[in-house]
């Protein structure tokens, strides 16, 4: 044992001796310089962009905050950056709100304290980026063929009128029968497309509110199958003069889906309604004639909404002289054309806000229930009823709308024996109220021309003010009242149908087609 201890001491002395001898021989120091020595004690950074440091950071995070509970300072020491620490901390203390992937359409989810934020890609909006901005209802009707309904869960959803179903694209509406509302019957379509089109009319520009010369040509039907005679008017310098147009069938091709022109220039000499012209038989198949039983005279018009419901003006009912009935499929009152069908009315429902003692024309709307259901034909088809928002949108944006009836051809003149039509544009509300000496309520609107003699007149009351959207006709108004007929500076006043969709729906049971 003693010998082993003496051996260790000897070896130690030998090593020291060799080191001292080496130092004196080569002049090399066994000690580091101060600057180099300080680097040994300097703390290494825990985090940078290097892969090794990321591994170190992950290990530190797992040790500090996953294996054990850490506080803010400990987490900050791991990340050494406030923003990165906060991003980690929000999910650490209350869970990751993005874990359920709430953001849709490729949006990026950012977790927050008890909340999250979805960063939407272009073209999408909403809390979860679930709404396609291009399909919001106030932008081109959401791309819908008929109605656009705002759904809180699904966003803009397209809906259809009764008698239609949604197409596979969930935007179009497909008719369930040949007599779905707002469509023209096939027989009438074929007649319109095959017949010879002859236009021979005189335009008196002296009655218009502008001076200019006219350079007019006939266009072939456009994509919506209408003749637009206004597009070629050259209203530059010059003197207005009458223009005569004659067109034969060789100049215009036959079309499969001909519609009544949205804009039309016509003579104001001895014409029906006032400034209009005769409708093609069956072209307005929802037109109803309300006839006095005692005199067999048409005293008001109406619009067919379904097989048992007609809508008309309330003042037609309160001012009627004796019992009346409804006739559908009527065109020429002087003869039986075999398309007419008479129906008794077994119930009359005035709008609950209508009070003839206070105002004969405010809330001027009534519903007539027919005793027996109507059998639809190419000459008897209901008009579509739109939702509030859709109907108001259509009313304001249609180039012109169609008014029809058998009323007086001019103020104080004779009634028309055949159904007449006239195109009238919507009039701005400020101008409408300014032009009228009587009160125009929010439940009314103006349509017509300031100087052109085109208007509804006595006997047309209760009839339809109809507007077409994507080949389907919708009821947008009811002929109500006016100061004389086609009087300069005055307009026709109509009941605003958009205000009464819910009431009509509640009474008649007419609701939107299912969207499932």
**Does residue 242 surpass a pLDDT of 80?**
no
Residue 477 near residue 123 (C-beta atoms within 8 A): no
Task: Identify whether residues 345 and 395 lie together within a single domain.
Answer: no
Query: Does 339 fall in a domain?
Result: yes
Query: Does 346 fall in a domain?
Result: yes
pLDDT at 121: 86
The two structure tokens encoding residue 470: 């994507």
* Cα(223)–Cα(445) distance, integer angstroms: 30
Task: Identify whether residues 494 and 394 lie together within a single domain.
Answer: yes
DSSP states of 430-490: HHHHHH-SS---TTEEEES-SSS-----TT-TT-EEEEEETTEEEEEEEEEEESSSS-TT-
Query: Does 265 fall in a domain?
Result: no
Query: Does 271 fall in a domain?
Result: no
Task: Identify whether residues 433 and 354 lie together within a single domain.
Answer: no
Last residue of a domain, one of 342, 370, 398: 370
Task: Identify whether residues 363 and 431 lie together within a single domain.
Answer: no
Q: Give the CATH number for residue 145.
A: 2.10.25.10
Which entry of 111, 364, 378, 415 is annotated as an active-site residue?
A: 364
pLDDT at 162: 94
Query: Does 476 fall in a domain?
Result: yes
Query: Does 183 fall in a domain?
Result: no
Task: Identify whether residues 402 and 460 lie together within a single domain.
Answer: yes
Q: What's this model's pTM, rounded to 2 decimal places?
A: 0.62
**Does residue 116 surpass a pLDDT of 70?**
yes
**Does residue 154 surpass a pLDDT of 60?**
yes
The two structure tokens encoding residue 491: 């307009």
Lowest mean pLDDT among 18-32, 172-186, 322-336: 18-32
Task: Identify whether residues 350 and 394 lie together within a single domain.
Answer: no
Express each pLDDT in 484-511 by its tens digit: 765 677 899 999 999 999 999 999 999 8
The two structure tokens encoding residue 318: 């309160």
Q: What are phi and psi of 89, to 5 degrees?
A: -65, -40
Domain span at residue 455? 388-507
Mean pLDDT over 38-51 rounds to 48
Lowest mean pLDDT among 11-25, 144-158, 343-357: 11-25
Last residue of a domain, one of 61, 94, 127: 94
Task: Identify whether residues 351 and 392 lie together within a single domain.
Answer: no
pLDDT at 213: 32
pLDDT at 248: 35
Task: Identify whether residues 399 and 493 lie together within a single domain.
Answer: yes
Q: Which residue has the higher pLDDT, 122 or 2?
A: 122
Q: Give the CATH number for residue 315.
A: 2.40.10.10
pLDDT at 88: 75
Mark whether 296 is an active-site residue: no
Last residue of a domain, one of 338, 370, 402: 370
Express each pLDDT in 407-443 by its tens digit: 875 555 677 889 999 999 999 999 999 998 899 999 9
Which entry of 264, 315, 343, 465 is annotated as an active-site residue?
A: 315
Mark whether 343 is an active-site residue: no
CB within 8 Å of 478: residues ≥ 6 apart? 303, 311, 312, 313, 364, 365, 462, 463, 464, 465, 494, 495, 497
Task: Identify whether residues 366 and 306 lie together within a single domain.
Answer: yes
**Does residue 240 surpass a pLDDT of 70?**
no
Q: Any idea how long the chain is? A: 516
Question: Is residue 480 very low, low, confident or very high in pLDDT (cuts 50, 70, 90)?
Answer: very high
Task: Identify whether residues 366 and 467 lie together within a single domain.
Answer: no
Q: Which residue has the higher pLDDT, 229 or 176?
A: 176
* Cα(339)–Cα(195) distance, integer angstroms: 20
**Does residue 226 surpass a pLDDT of 80?**
no
Query: Does 204 fall in a domain?
Result: no
What is the average pLDDT value for the chain, to the nearest integer? 76
* Cα(414)–Cα(435) distance, integer angstroms: 26
pLDDT at 46: 43
DSSP letter at 22 equals H
Task: Identify whether residues 474 and 432 lie together within a single domain.
Answer: yes
Q: Which residue has the higher pLDDT, 108 or 155?
A: 108
Which entry of 461, 467, 480, 498 is annotated as an active-site residue?
A: 461
Query: Does 159 fall in a domain?
Result: yes
What is the number of domains present in the chain? 4
**Does residue 57 surpass a pLDDT of 90?**
no
Lowest mean pLDDT among 217-231, 370-384, 410-424, 461-475: 217-231
Q: Which residue has the higher pLDDT, 454 or 382?
A: 382
Task: Identify whether residues 343 and 422 lie together within a single domain.
Answer: no
Mean pLDDT over 151-165 rounds to 88
The percent of residues above 70 in pLDDT, for the chain, comes to 66
Mark whether 138 is an active-site residue: no
């Amino acid at each position: 044992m003693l010998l082993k201890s003496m051996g260790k001491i000897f070896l130690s002395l030998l090593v020291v001796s060799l080191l001292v001898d080496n130092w004196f021989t080569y002049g090399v120091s066994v000690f580091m310089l101060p600057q180099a020595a300080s680097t040994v004690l300097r703390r290494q950074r825990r985090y940078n962009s290097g892969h090794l440091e990321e591994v170190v950071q992950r290990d530190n995070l797992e040790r500090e905050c996953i294996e054990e509970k850490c506080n803010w300072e400990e987490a900050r020491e791991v990340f050494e950056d406030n923003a990165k620490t906060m991003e980690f901390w929000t999910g650490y203390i209350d869970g990751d709100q993005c874990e359920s992937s709430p953001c849709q359409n490729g949006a990026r989810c950012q977790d927050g304290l008890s909340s999250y934020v979805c960063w939407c890609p272009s073209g999408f909006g909403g809390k979860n980026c679930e709404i396609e901005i291009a399909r919001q209802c106030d932008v081109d009707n959401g791309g819908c063929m008929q109605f656009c309904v705002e759904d809180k869960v699904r966003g803009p959803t397209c809906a259809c009128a009764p008698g239609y179903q949604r197409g596979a694209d969930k935007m179009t509406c497909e008719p369930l029968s040949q007599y779905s509302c707002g469509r023209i019957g096939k027989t009438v379509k074929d007649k319109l497309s095959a017949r010879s089109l002859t236009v021979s009319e005189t335009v008196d520009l002296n009655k218009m509110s502008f001076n200019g010369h006219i350079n007019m040509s006939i266009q072939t039907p456009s994509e919506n199958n209408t003749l637009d005679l206004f597009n070629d008017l050259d209203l530059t310098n010059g003197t207005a003069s009458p223009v005569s147009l004659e067109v034969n069938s060789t100049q215009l091709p036959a079309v499969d889906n001909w519609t009544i022109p949205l804009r039309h220039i016509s003579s104001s000499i001895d014409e029906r309604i006032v400034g209009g012209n005769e409708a093609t038989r069956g072209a307005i198949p929802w037109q109803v004639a309300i006839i006095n039983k005692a005199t067999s005279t048409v005293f008001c018009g109406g619009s067919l909404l379904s097989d048992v419901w007609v809508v008309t003006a309330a003042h037609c009912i309160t001012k009627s002289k004796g019992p009346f009935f409804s006739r559908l499929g009527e065109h020429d009152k002087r003869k039986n054309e075999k398309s007419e069908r008479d129906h008794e009315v077994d119930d009359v429902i005035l709008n609950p806000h209508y009070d003839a003692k206070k105002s004969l024309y405010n809330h001027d709307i009534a519903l007539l229930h027919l005793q027996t259901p109507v059998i639809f034909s190419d000459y008897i088809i209901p008009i579509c009823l739109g939702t509030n928002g859709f109907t108001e949108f259509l009313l304001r944006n249609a180039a012109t709308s169609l008014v029809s009836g058998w009323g007086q051809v001019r103020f104080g003149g004779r009634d028309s024996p055949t159904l007449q039509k006239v195109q009238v544009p919507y009039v701005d509300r400020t101008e409408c109220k300014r032009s009228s000496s009587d009160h125009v309520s929010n439940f009314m609107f103006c349509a017509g021309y300031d100087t052109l003699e085109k208007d509804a007149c006595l006997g047309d009351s209760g009839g339809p003010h109809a507007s077409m959207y994507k080949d389907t006709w919708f009821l947008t108004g009811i002929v109500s009242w006016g100061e004389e007929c086609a009087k300069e500076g005055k307009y026709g006043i109509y009941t605003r149908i958009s205000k009464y969709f819910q009431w009509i729906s509640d009474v008649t049971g007419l609701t939107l087609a299912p969207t499932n």
